[in-house]
Each structure stands twice: as C-alpha cells, then as structure tokens.
Amino acid sequence: MIVKEEFLAKLRRYFSLNLYEVKIWTALLSRGVSTAGELSDIANVPRSRSYDVLESLEKKGFAITKLGKPIKYIAVPPTEVVERVKKNVEEESKDRVKRLEDLKGTEVVTELNQLHTQGIELVDPADLSGSLRGRHNLYNHLELTIKNAEKTVTMMTTTQGLMRKLEGFKPVFEKLKKKGVKIRIAAPLSKETNNLVKELGNTVEIRHTDSKARFVVVDGKEIVFMVMDDAEVHPTYDVGIWVNTPFFANALESLFDTSWKNMKPVGTK
C-alpha cells in the first residue's frame, strides 16, 4: 500500500497522530480488518512497535479489537473517527480551561508572579522591547498592554484600524472607563466609522485627523507602534514594535497633545 507523504502529513496535523500511528491507521483502513503483523508489513512499521501503536489507536477511538484468536483489529469508519476526535478535543479543552481557572488565586500563581516581579527588577531597560509579527499577535499584545492602563490610553490609527479596535477592544475600553482611565483616539473618520463612533462615544473620546500613523501610548510609559500602512500589507505580514520607555513615550504623547487641540471632535464640521 502506497500512501503519499503529503497525505500522511495532513492526517498527522488534523488528528494529532505520530508517524507510526498514521501509517498503521491508513493501513488498517485499507484492509478493514487485520492483524498487527499484517499491518506492520503493509505500513512498513517495526513489528515490535505495531502492538503499542494499535493499542494507542484503540484508546483514541480509531480502531476496535476483534474478539478471538489471532487478535485482529477493526477499522472504525472515518466519519465516526472525526466525531470521536472532535468530542475528545472538546472535552480536553474544557478540562484544560477548568484547570487553568482553578489555578487562579493559588500559591502557584503567587510564586510565578513573585518570580516575574523579581525578574523585572533585574532587567535592563533596554531589554524591555520586542517585535510583534502578524496582526493577530500584534492585537493580542495591544489588548494586554491597554488592559493594564491606569491613567491614559492614547491612540492614533487608520480608518480600518479604528474599526478593528472599536469592535475588538470594546469590552476593554468599557472596563477602563469605569476605572477612570482617559482614552483618546485620533483617526481619519468616515461614513464607515459613524455607527461605531456613536456607539462608543461616551466611553472613548475620538477626533478626526487627516494624518496617517499607527501607534498606542499607555500611561506615558509604554508604546506600541506599527511600522507599515495596514492598507498595503497583508495581516500576516503586519509588524509592530513594543517599547517600555517613559522618556520617549512622554515625548510622543506631548506631540499628540499639541495635535489633539487642532483635531475636530466628533460631530463638528
């Protein structure tokens, strides 16, 4: 039996199987019912490993052991395998989420926080910077940075960037507003942004600007700035830089304050 390596690689990714498992499984599917020895020969897997592999496949729901001698294995229909794997993934995910939730407030997290606090004290300020690749990673870090704001969040973004942030960070903005954090966003406003701007008008102060820039300053300490125009780059190739630098952050925020006075508030012509 010849199965293309590319197909085996896909199966490994989809079903989280190792190479021997995926070879034995496809061999079993091609036979329907077979012994470990036969499957070992077909799949070109060492006989000493075939029993362990079949036991693993049985536990995962890919095969069934047939009663009688010699011991044979029956292939479970692929559609049923998909459902079983999906169910197992859901159960494992729920279990992991529960374990992580239970971890909150425990000594483990306390000790981890102590390690991090002690580590930060030893870090050179020049090391508190990083490159963020891909818009997904970029926005995850943005959310983390903004979420920890205590006084101010200052943003300048594009029209599309404004829509993404107002939609994606709405719960974060609302929590920050309750904490008394001042949130200001400057962006080129358009008809596309009208509804979102009205919806969050009481939470975020937004003004129109014709300038194009993409950066966020938090508490006059941290900066996240994007180095490319989001209209000209694919999300997976978007790049941002995070820097913890009060000196530069304060300077950038002062420049923003000067421009902010000349920007048009929402609702003005």
Helix segments in the chain, DSSP class H = 5-15, 19-31, 36-43, 47-60, 78-103, 107-122, 135-147, 159-168, 170-179, 194-199, 246-262
pLDDT of 255 higher than 50: yes
Segments making up each domain of the chain, as ranges: 5-78, 126-265
- 214 SS3 class: coil
What b-and-e string marks burial along 198-221, b requiring 16 or more CB atoms within 10 Å of the CB? eebeebbebbbbeeebbbbbbbbb
pLDDT tens per residue across span 209-237 = 998 899 999 999 899 999 999 989 999 99
Lowest mean pLDDT among 83-97, 115-129, 132-146: 115-129
Three-state DSSP state, 242: strand
Which pLDDT band holds residue 119 (cuts at 50, 70, 90)? low
Q: At what angle do helices 47-60 and 19-31 cross, to 10 degrees?
A: 80
Contact at 8 Å (CB) between 18 and 25?
A: no
Whether the Cβ atoms of residue 222 and residue 242 lie closer than 8 Å to each other = yes
Q: Is the pLDDT of residue 86 over 70?
A: yes
What was the pLDDT predicted at 6?
A: 87
Query: Tokens 């459902």 — which residue?
Result: 83
Element (H, E) at 226: strand 222-226
Tokens of 128: 């508190």
Cα distances from 56 to residues 60, 73, 231, in angstroms, run 6, 12, 49
Would you say 64 and 74 are in contact if contact means Cβ atoms under 8 Å apart?
yes
Average pLDDT for 87-101? 88
pLDDT at 269 over 70: no
The whole-number average pLDDT for the span 100-129 is 70
Q: Tokens at residue 11, please?
A: 């199966």
Q: Which of 128-137, 171-180, 201-210, 250-259 has the lowest mean pLDDT?
A: 128-137
Task: Classify 5-78 by CATH class.
Answer: mainly alpha
From the number of C-beta atoms within 10 Å of its C-beta (0-12, 13-18, 19+), residue 66 rates as: middle
What is the model's pLDDT at position 206?
A: 92
- Cα separation, 247 vs 185, in Å, equals 21
The alpha carbon dihedral of 221, 222, 227, 231 has a sign of negative
pLDDT tens for each residue of 39-60: 999 999 999 999 999 999 998 8
Per-residue CA distances from 158 to 193, 225, 232 (Å): 11, 12, 12
Q: Report the CATH number of the 126-265 domain.
A: 3.30.870.10
> Looking at 12-26, 124-138, 194-208, which range is the least confident one?
124-138
Mean pLDDT of the chain, nearest integer: 87
